[in-house]
Amino acid sequence: MTNDPQLSGGPEPETARAEPRQGRRRARPKRRHTVARVLLSTMVVLAMVSGLSLVWLYRTLNSGITVDDVTDQLTDRPTTVEVEGPQEPLNILVMGIDARDCSGCDIDNETGADGSDNTMLIHLSADRTRAYGVSIPRDSMVDRPACKTEDGTTIPAADYQMWNAAFSVGGAACTIQQFESLTDIRIDHYVVVDFGSFKDMVDAVGGVEMCIPEDIDDASHGIHIAAGTRVLDGDEALEYVRERYAVSQGSDLGRMKRQQAFLASLASTVVSANTLANPVRLTKFLKAATASLTVDSGLGSITKLAELGYQFRNISLDGIQFITIPNTTDPNDYNRLVWTDDAAKVWRKLRNDKPLTSSIATDAISAGNLPGSDSSSSSSASSSPSASASSGTGKKNKKKNSNTGGAGLADDEQLAAAGLCT
């Protein structure tokens, strides 16, 4: 009889059993290494795809921006005032043009032209806690200073001219020259935007909610918007901010006030979670915001625009206010306007980076207290670490807003006169 346990069917020695087990244990790490390699390769591919997507997105957003630096065309510029704050205040002049050659922009049955539709100063305080948007009526009568064209030609000065004539004769450079000459405020950056960009921005965020007190029925210009609190898409929004015949008795000032209310609601929508937390919607908004923009070299890339946007991070919605420069009817022409003495007070306050007070800013619209809303926007309290607990109901805030130094908000009569809900 053999003593070989494998032949005799006896038990295996410990050494014989150990070898297969050791072999199996050595095989497991090989499988784990294979899985690790697959996961690592997948992550690398995803990272490459993400990186390429970011590069594509960056180039796409940048491609819509037109850079036109007009600094060399500006003369006799105001000096910069030293103010208290961790940074310098920023003054950005935004010029809307009324060209209607974009798709769906030929609203109100008018052809338009490459003229100035609306001009607004955006003032960002040095401590980055307040932002004012100051609208300048296009039919304000002013004395236009001499200005230079791109080829160095001097356009002569002219007295008693409509505000928007400067853009017609000399574009952004002449408008900036005119603004600095009349306000003594130095412009740091400028932006020119057209109807198409505006319309696409509205659609990109899924529309903007507005409260419309009565049906807007302007058959002569093909504009029909139903009353009520409703979300306006891009086409409706463009009609709403352009309408000036069937609302507020045809007043251009009423139209500007509606534009301010719409921009306040748009700002509230953009900083809401529905936009910021939605990559697709945010990307669409950025594409729309940069499409067809003309800016100075200081804002000439998506990176620079993003850096500018980042500086608004500590401003609550209550800290964003829109006003119209104080004005009155031109005694020489009932259809024109002239600035009042309070206009000089507004410019002086902003030049020295001081909050506007209720005595000179009586018609302000706050992004945190939209017309027709019973209370301040809920996002105003959470959109910024500096949002104050003083944000109360809309009725309270219409008297005074502590976040902005006491600037008076528009009352019910002013809102109603502009065709807005109260």
The pLDDT-based confidence of 402 (bands split at 50, 70, 90) is very low
The answer to whether residues 413 and 306 belong to one domain is yes
Q: Would you say residue 131 lies in a domain? A: yes
Taking the CA atoms of the chain, what radius of gyration do you get in angstroms?
30
| Spatial distance between the Cα atoms of 157 and 167, rounded to a whole number of angstroms | 13
Tens of pLDDT, residues 87-141? 899 999 999 886 655 555 555 545 444 556 789 999 999 999 999 999 999 999 9
Average pLDDT, the chain: 78
The arithmetic mean of pLDDT across residues 19-30, rounded, is: 51
* Residue of higher predicted confidence among 359 and 41: 359
CATH number of the domain where residue 116 is located: 3.40.630.190
Residue 103: the pLDDT is 55
- Give residue 45's pLDDT band: very low, low, confident or very high (50, 70, 90): low
Same domain (yes/no): 53, 107 = no
The answer to whether residue 211 is domain-embedded is yes
Residue 84 in this model has a pLDDT that exceeds 70: yes
The predicted model gives 298-327 an average pLDDT of 86
Domain span at residue 52 reads 14-63
222-265: pLDDT as tens digits: 889 999 999 999 999 988 988 878 887 667 888 889 999 999 99
* Percentage of the residues of the chain whose pLDDT score is greater than 90: 36
Which tens digit of pLDDT belongs to each residue from 3-14? 444 444 444 444
Same domain, 148 and 177: yes
Same domain, residue pair 198 and 119: yes
Query: Domain count of the chain?
Result: 2
List the structure tokens of 389: 């607990």
- At 228, give phi and psi (nearest 5°): 120, 170
Give the confidence band of 46 by pLDDT, cuts at 50, 70, 90.
very low
Q: Per the domain annotation, does 422 fall within a domain?
A: no
Same-domain check for residues 169 and 257: yes
Would 18 be classed as within a structural domain?
A: yes
Q: What is the pLDDT of residue 180?
A: 98
Local confidence band at 157 (pLDDT 50, 70, 90 cut-offs): very high
Same domain, 40 and 106: no
Q: Of 63, 97, 121, which one is at a domain's C-terminal end?
A: 63
The answer on pLDDT for 21 being more than 80 is: no
Domain match, 90 and 148 both: yes
- Among 323, 224, 188, which residue's Cα sits nearest to residue 264? 323
Mean pLDDT of 298-302: 86
3 burial level (CB within 10 Å; 0-12, 13-18, 19+): exposed
pTM above 0.75, yes or no: yes
Residues 32 and 111 in one domain: no
Could you tell me which residue, 401 or 119, shows the higher pLDDT? 119
Is the pLDDT score of 396 beyond 70? no
Q: Which of 126-140, 213-227, 402-416 has the lowest mean pLDDT?
A: 402-416
**Is 140 found in the same domain as 45?**
no
Lowest mean pLDDT among 17-31, 228-242, 297-311: 17-31
Q: Report yes or no on 8 lying in a domain.
A: no
Residue 259 lies in a domain: yes
Spatial neighbors of 48 by CB under 8 A, at least 6 apart, are: none
Residue 418 vs residue 306, higher pLDDT:
418
**Pair 54, 199 in one domain:** no
Q: Is residue 223 part of a domain?
A: yes
200 and 238 part of one domain: yes
Q: Is residue 104 part of a domain?
A: yes
Which tokens hold the place of 55?
């590069």
On whether both 259 and 389 belong to a single domain, the answer is yes
Burial 353-389 (b: 16+ CB within 10 A, else e): bebbbbebbbbbbbbbbbbbbebbbebbbebbebbbe
**Can you tell me which residue has the tokens 């302000």?**
364
